[in-house]
Amino acid sequence: MLTTLLIFVPLVGALLVWIAPLSRESTAGLALLVALAEVGLWLGSTRNFDFGSDVQQYSASQEWFEELGISYAVGLYGFQFWLVGLTVVVGACAIGYGAWANRDRARAYFGLMLFLIGSLVGVFASQDLILFYVFFEAMLIPIYVLVGVWGGPGRMKATLTFVLYTMAGSLLMLAAIIAFGISQGTFLLAEIGTSSNDLIFLGFMAAFAVKAPLLPFHGWLRAAYTEAPPEVAALLSGVVSKAAVFGLVWIVLPHFPQPVDDWRNVVLALAAATLVYGSVLAFRQPDVRGVIAYSSMGQMGLIVLGIFAVNDLGLDGAVLHSINHGLVSAGLFFVAGMIETRTGTGVFSELGGMAKGRPILATLVMVLGIFALAVPGSANFAGEFAILAGVFEHGWGYAAVGAGAIVLAALYALRLISAVLHERRGRSVREEPDDLVGSELILVVPLVAILAVLSAWPAGISERSFPADAPAAFIGAQSGEGLGTP
Amino acid sequence: MIFGSWVCLLAPLVGFLAILLAGTRITRRQAGILSTTSVFVGFAGALVAFFDAWGREPEERGELTTAWTWLKAGELEVGLELLIDPLSLVMMLVVTGIGGLIVLYSNGYMAGDDEERRYFAYMAFFVFSMLLLVMGGNLLLLLVGWGLVGLASYLLIGFHHERASAVAAAKKAFVINALGDALLALAFFLAIAKVGSLDFGVVFEAAESGELSDTVATLVALGLLGGAVAKSAQIPFHTWLPDAMEGPTPVSALIHAATMVTAGVYLICRTHPVFEAAPEVQHLAAILGLITLLVAGVVALVQWDIKRVIAYSTMSQIGYMFVGAGVGAYGFAMFHLVTHAFFKALLFLAAGLVIHHLSGEQDIRKMGGLRSSMRFTHLTFLVGTLALVGIPPLSGFWSKDAILASTLAEGGVLGWVLYVGGLVGALLTGLYSLRLYLLVFHGEPAAQAEAPHAEHAHHGEGPRSMTIPVAVLAVGSAVAGLLGIPGVWHPFEDWLHDVAEPLVEPSTRQEWLTSGLAVTLGVLGALLAWRAFKAGRELVPDGAVRTTLEHKLWFDELYDTVFSRPGQAIAVTLRDRFETPVVQGGLDEVAEGTLRGAAATSAAQSGLLRTYALAITISVAVLALVFLVVR
Amino acid sequence: MMGPGIPWYLAISAMLFSIGVAGVLLRRSPLIVLLSLELMLNAANLAFVGFSRLFGEMDGQVFALSVMAVAAAEVCVGLGLIVAMARRNLALDVDAFTELRG
């Protein structure tokens, strides 16, 4: 029941916002209210969530199309719960940002944002393949409109590329879903067995490789992250990309053990290449958004590396890092947006010396940058360390590449910080100190605070992602008869 | 002991957070007081812990305390745990004690700077990170402290971030440190794979009992050594240290002399079982130390910046410590770490007094004759110089010569090479130290020195907040060495004995023999420097040799050509040749193609009624035909 | 039954229908288009009645009556539109209304 609420509260809110003929401020207020209610709902459910249990929490199941074996089935395990949490928190901050940025056509805008949040929660909570696909595609509609209407100058091409690319992958996945479901007689994830069909496996991989993204399916990334409004970019890189994480961990790994084994080295190599490629390119981007975009790509490569290690360290690390990266990326995009509002540009050659007179902005950029490069002691470090320690088992080369990426991350993160904050005042930077004000702080500081807490206590998530904290065994047990039988 | 240790660790953290969160609500002075107090409270905590441990039996001096589980992933469990034992207590006292003095000094030195609050926050943060490093109860927590001090170093070196050179130096330091972090991480991955844990006890036992194969032990030790070399600025990862002098002088004193750079030595001593299981790597550490010792010593001979000379001296002295740790003389290496912390911090702070007095001048060619106008500074600087050279009974004498004696005791080819090299190093030390001292304090005063800053007419050589720490350090530099008189008493060595049992024990005869030789060479070097000074010429004449030394043996240029340029070139090439045209371009085609197709198709919707009607008619006709035919 | 055979009815119906189609496609005045549409409808009616006569069943004739009712309704709407256009002084030309384009 609760899961259904979590999914439908934003959807119903979206509907309300669309119809209610309120002024711009009231619409923003209503949307914010719904988003915060959602966060409250999620927080409240933390108390009764049994993280160690084998059984799905807050699940609900309802036959939808009996003849085809499709059901409305939702439920949460630890890692899904955290992903939902990430969605609602970043979503609330994004809606706050939209309110602060005073977006025009408010009703359409806030309605779409809420709709996006609802579908994202649906993706993470679905336990039926067709339902998953429905929500997966439903995500695309609001993104298309949000980027296409409220985005930057090159937005049409960016959003079109994004949608076409994603749809191409999704259609392959749809074919795979249908083939898989029909052959098994049901679409319920709990009941569907395993398959060693390489083609079906590749169909799923296609969609997730585009979503993450992995090299070489990343062509949509740069344009989308740059042209999207900052809060949408935050959602894109912070949350939407994690749909791939969910799909890989919950659909691909448990149900395709043989193909995963066969293709493991290919995927690991691709993920490692993504990590290096993203980090190297991030180092030479001429603008703030570019750095964040390619850095995001690299980190997703790292996460996929952890997932395909298919062992305790890798999986726990991947989940932990997904949350961390989501928070950091979102925070960075918000700050980038605030910088763009003040200077009218994100290009490095126009920026510089912003630390003078802006201590709060400087602190935030510094803190987020440092978290992004996974300084030892940060939650990101804990996740990265666990992932690399896990993937070490499959080949020290991957871990070595990962360690090299640590140095690369230092390079691009420090470059970002210095280019914005240090040395001489850039051309577009104003002389009067226009530091961040309360209404802006409230969007970013909660993210930073959560990161700080996670840095002190990463076990908070890593211990509670999978039942009995034995992810590999749990995933292994998903195949075949269902739960509990290794 | 546990309580004192937690106070020690957390006090600076509290100080840091308080300054950070208070922001502009506290004055700059208050920030300085807050920072200083928090570090001294930490010192008090360390003292409490120390005395508690002192009162115990040697076997009971080590304690492990856990706060909570930091990371748990499957089988790996890493707790937020502290290990308090004689080794960590030594480091705790040094870090908070000398750190406290330096932060106190900063109150005077940094007065008037716009961003004092930021500075004091960073200093407190550094002390906390360093304490975490030395108190960390498992390898991962050590790595956390390790990375955080690297971060603090970046923040403090780049403190004056309007200066491009400072920003560049900070980035360089951080990147090289990050490389060290990566090497440590790799070593840890291997350890996890083989042993399943990062706890000191588990890993060390595996190393000692031979559970780790030779290859594994060697690889792990290599990773540890790599991290240590990067952090301690030993060759080949040393290029960041001279540039780090861009930071304010107290920063150089604290981070780049007394504490952070010595972390590598601490690491080797702490993880010595792993090194002992891979003796080739341990010997490699000694050799790298020797190379650094000599190279840094000669490069120091041609430096004109007062801070750079002291920086190279630091590099060289840490080389000594690496030599000591490399032959297994852990107690002596740590002993030299402590005495060096005293006199090197003293030298930096006294140099800071000079720089302050001369309103920011750091070029020693523009100094001279300060002996008369800065009597206190002169005296303390002299004490520091003599301690560095190793003149008895000052501290450097006891500690440095103990290391050399150990290399003699080690024997074999390695031992002899290290011994001779170390003695040459003593000569070099005499040469560059006296050169620096003479050029700054003797001779004719340079023009600028005639007109000191108006402020100092009141303060004399500096406010009390600056002179008191210098005085304390001078006293320390003088007497600290008395904790280890060969043949008589050696409480320091005994203190560390159970934690890190030395592999070699030089006899009293070897120690006194070595001391004699070392002192002779040191004095010889000093005399040669005196002679050159009197004759008004440089020790290293102009020519190819001098040019090479001035370019620091071309290391920077080498790294630039091999790593920096190709790296950037690769990034740019990838971006311009691959990413933009192939990936983006290809996609642009798709997007544009779709739009064109859409435009073409929409032409069919002309809006003309009759077109539609025609279309209907034709379709019906065709369908009718089809039906007829198929039927 | 007496009278011409069904082929004759169908031939006339077809001719009327084609003339109607030609009218719809070729004429520009909406009034003429409506007229042609009526022609097409009546052609269909003729076919219906013819067949009804052939099979002796009443279905065709009844349906022809419904067609007439529908035609009447449609003509009302159509003529109403034309009168509205004339009232606004719009050109009574089918090709002039192209706003609903792709």
B225 burial via Cβ count (<10 Å: 0-12, 13-18, 19+): buried
Average of per-residue pLDDT across B108-124 = 87
Residues B25 and B573: their CA atoms lie apart, in Å, by: 49
Q: What is the DSSP string of C50-99?
A: HHHHHHT-SHHHHHHHHHHHHHHHHHHHHHHHHHHHHHTT----GGG---
* Pick among B602, B605, B606, B608 to test the C interface (most C CBs inside 10 A): B608
User: Looking at the partner chain, which of B608, B613, B614 has a beta carbon nearest the beta carbon of C98?
Assistant: B608
β partners of residue A72:
A62
For residue C9, give the amino acid letter: Y
Which residue in chain C is spatially nearest to B601 when comparing CA positions?
Answer: C102
Q: What is the DSSP string of A302-329?
A: HHHHHHTT-SHHHHHHHHHHHHHHHHHH
Q: What is the DSSP string of A372-384?
A: HTT-BTBHHHHHH
The tokens 């809006």 sit on which residue?
A: B607
Residue A325 touches chain B, beta carbons under 8 Å: no
Residues A176 and A171: their CA atoms lie apart, in Å, by: 9
* Pick among C81, C98, C99 to test the B interface (most B CBs inside 10 A): C98
Q: How far is A106 from chain B (nearest CA, A)?
A: 28
Q: How far is B617 from chain C (nearest CA, A)?
A: 8
Whether chains C and B touch (3+ CB pairs under 8 A) is answered by yes
* Pick among A159, A167, A280, A408 to test the B interface (most B CBs inside 10 A): A280
Instruction: Report the percent of chain B where pLDDT is more than 90.
Output: 40
> Is the pLDDT confidence value at B585 over 70?
no
Determine the Cα angle at A471 with ends A468 and A473, to 5°.
90
Whether chains A and C touch (3+ CB pairs under 8 A) is answered by no
Contact C98 B607 (CB under 8 A): yes
Q: Where are the domains of chain A?
A: 2-478
Residues A369 and A392: their CA atoms lie apart, in Å, by: 27
Q: How many contacts, defined by CB atoms under 8 Å, are there between B and C?
A: 31
Contact A160 B595 (CB under 8 A): yes
Distance of CA A303 to the CA centre of its chain: 11
* Pick among C18, C19, C24 to test the B interface (most B CBs inside 10 A): C24
Q: What is the DSSP string of B170-206?
A: HHHHHHHHHHHHHHHHHHHHHHHHHHS--BHHHHHHH
Whether the pTM exceeds 0.95: the reply is no
Q: Tell me the average pLDDT of chain B.
A: 87
Per residue in A414-445, pLDDT (tens digit) is: 999 998 888 888 888 777 777 888 888 889 99
Contact C95 B605 (CB under 8 A): no
Tell me which residue of A44, A247, A241, A207 sits closest to A127, measured CA to CA. Answer: A247
> Is the pLDDT confidence value at B582 over 70?
no
Q: How far is B226 from chain A (nearest CA, A)?
A: 13
Residues B13 and B561: their CA atoms lie apart, in Å, by: 41
Strand-strand pairing, A57-65 and A70-76: antiparallel
Going by pLDDT thresholds of 50, 70 and 90, the confidence category of residue B454 is very low
* Pick among B10, B71, B188 to test the A interface (most A CBs inside 10 A): B71
β partners of residue A60:
A74
Average of per-residue pLDDT across C18-47 = 94
Which residue in chain C is spatially nearest to B617 when comparing CA positions?
Answer: C21
Pull the structure tokens for residue B10.
């957390």
Greatest extent of chain A over all pairs of C-alpha atoms, in Å: 69
CB A391 within 8 A of CB A344: no
Residues 354-393 of A with CB under 8 A from B: 355-356, 359-360, 363, 370, 373, 375-377, 381-382, 385-386, 388-390, 392-393
Going by pLDDT thresholds of 50, 70 and 90, the confidence category of residue B499 is confident
Residues 22-41 of C with CB under 8 A from B: 24-25
Residues C63 and C71: their CA atoms lie apart, in Å, by: 12
Average of per-residue pLDDT across B74-101 = 90
- List of chains touching C (3+ CB pairs within 8 A): B
Contact B617 C98 (CB under 8 A): no
Per residue in B223-235, pLDDT (tens digit) is: 999 999 999 999 8
The tokens 């090289």 sit on which residue?
A: B176
Q: How far is B175 from chain A (nearest CA, A)?
A: 6
B324 burial via Cβ count (<10 Å: 0-12, 13-18, 19+): buried
Contacts of B603 in chain C (CB under 8 A): 102
Q: How far is B307 from chain A (nearest CA, A)?
A: 23
CB B624 within 8 A of CB B631: no
CB A88 within 8 A of CB A121: yes
Collect all residues from B whose CB is shorter than 8 A from any CB in C: 601-610, 613-614, 617
Contacts of C98 in chain B (CB under 8 A): 606-608
Q: How far is B371 from chain A (nearest CA, A)?
A: 38
Q: How far is C1 from chain B (nearest CA, A)?
A: 29
**What secondary structure letter does DSSP report for B585?**
I
Residues A35 and A12: their CA atoms lie apart, in Å, by: 11
Pull the structure tokens for residue C47.
């076919």
C-beta atoms surrounding B199 within 10 Å: 20
User: Looking at the partner chain, which of A284, A316, A404 has a beta carbon nearest the beta carbon of B74?
Assistant: A316
Residues B257 and B433: their CA atoms lie apart, in Å, by: 15
Pull the structure tokens for residue B531.
């002679």
Determine the Cα angle at B458 with ends B453 and B464, to 5°.
105
Greatest extent of chain C over all pairs of C-alpha atoms, in Å: 55
Tell me which residue of B355, B168, B151 sits closest to B260, measured CA to CA. Answer: B151
Q: Tell me the average pLDDT of chain C.
A: 91
Contact B571 A280 (CB under 8 A): yes
> What is the C-alpha R_g of chain B?
31
CB B244 within 8 A of CB B166: no
pLDDT at B447: 59
Residue A399 touches chain B, beta carbons under 8 Å: yes
User: Looking at the partner chain, which of B601, B606, B617 has a beta carbon nearest the beta carbon of C101?
Assistant: B606
Residues A455 and B81: their CA atoms lie apart, in Å, by: 15
> Is the pLDDT confidence value at B97 over 50?
yes
- List of chains touching B (3+ CB pairs within 8 A): A, C
The set of residues, in sequence order, having a beta carbon less than 8 Å from that of B406 and lying 6+ positions away, is B324, B327, B328, B329, B332, B502, B504, B506
Contact B617 C95 (CB under 8 A): no
Residue A307 touches chain B, beta carbons under 8 Å: no
Residues A363 and A180: their CA atoms lie apart, in Å, by: 51
ipTM, interface predicted TM-score of the complex: 0.90
Per-residue pLDDT of chain A (486 residues; tens, 9 = 90+): 788 888 999 999 999 999 988 888 888 999 999 999 999 999 998 888 888 777 777 888 888 887 878 888 888 888 999 999 999 999 999 999 999 988 888 899 999 999 999 999 999 999 999 999 999 999 999 999 999 999 889 888 888 888 888 998 999 999 999 999 888 888 888 788 888 888 999 999 999 999 989 988 888 888 899 999 999 999 999 999 999 999 999 999 988 888 998 999 999 999 999 999 999 989 888 999 999 999 999 999 999 999 999 888 899 999 999 999 999 999 999 999 999 988 888 888 888 888 887 888 889 999 999 999 999 989 999 999 999 999 998 888 899 999 999 999 999 999 999 988 888 888 887 777 778 888 888 899 999 999 999 998 998 888 888 877 777 777 777 764 433 323
Q: How far is B144 from chain A (nearest CA, A)?
A: 4
Contact A165 B164 (CB under 8 A): no
Q: How far is B53 from chain A (nearest CA, A)?
A: 29
3-state secondary structure of A62: strand
Whether chains A and B touch (3+ CB pairs under 8 A) is answered by yes
Q: What is the DSSP string of B479-520?
A: HGGGG-BTTTB-HHHHHHHTTS--S----HHHHHHHHHHHHH
H or E element, residue A61: strand A57-65
pLDDT at A481: 40
The tokens 């007689």 sit on which residue?
A: A185
Tell me which residue of A479, A126, A79, A56 sits closest to A307, measured CA to CA. Answer: A79
Contacts of B158 in chain A (CB under 8 A): 418, 422
Residues A411 and A279: their CA atoms lie apart, in Å, by: 9
Per residue in A250-308, pLDDT (tens digit) is: 999 988 888 998 999 999 999 999 999 999 989 888 999 999 999 999 999 999 999 99
CA distances from C54 to B137, B283, C40, C58, C59 (A): 106, 116, 21, 10, 11
User: Looking at the partner chain, which of C25, C95, C102 has a beta carbon nearest the beta carbon of B605?
Assistant: C102
pLDDT at B570: 83
Q: How far is C62 from chain B (nearest CA, A)?
A: 25
User: Looking at the partner chain, which of B604, B607, B613 has a beta carbon nearest the beta carbon of C99?
Assistant: B607
Q: How far is C93 from chain B (nearest CA, A)?
A: 10
